[in-house]
Amino acid sequence: MAKYQFFCQPGKERQNFTFLVMGTETFLEEKAQLLNSGLEVDGDVIFASTDREAIEKYTSHFTHLTEEMNNSHPESAAVNAFLQIAKAINQRWFKR
């Protein structure tokens, strides 16, 4: 199974998205290009046998269900809250 990472435009509710297969030699370079173009990582890594399967999992909000399950535990919810706050601060700081 391949590992997929999805990217979307902030605030677009998954209307415009793309993905990368994480096992390629150019993954880190391509990821940097997507992040520099204004896209952001959306959800957890998806394991799938095909691109189509990965897209189906992504569009079914599979990764967000996993995040909700993780947030049901106080320890992981606290870590996620900290990461979201740090992300918001980082976005505001670098938009200026």
Largest CA distance in the chain: 41
Tokens representing residue 22 in the block: 């994480």
pLDDT digits over 12-53, tens only? 777 789 999 999 999 999 999 999 999 999 988 999 999 999
Give the count of beta carbons closer than 10 Å to the beta carbon of residue 13: 8
State residue 74 phi and psi, 5-degree precision: -55, -40
- 59/47 Cα distance (integer angstroms): 14
pLDDT at 63: 54
Could you read off the pLDDT of 53-85 as tens digits, one per residue? 999 998 887 555 556 666 666 776 677 677 778
- In eight-state DSSP terms, residue 39 is -
Q: Cα separation of 68 and 73, whole Å?
A: 9
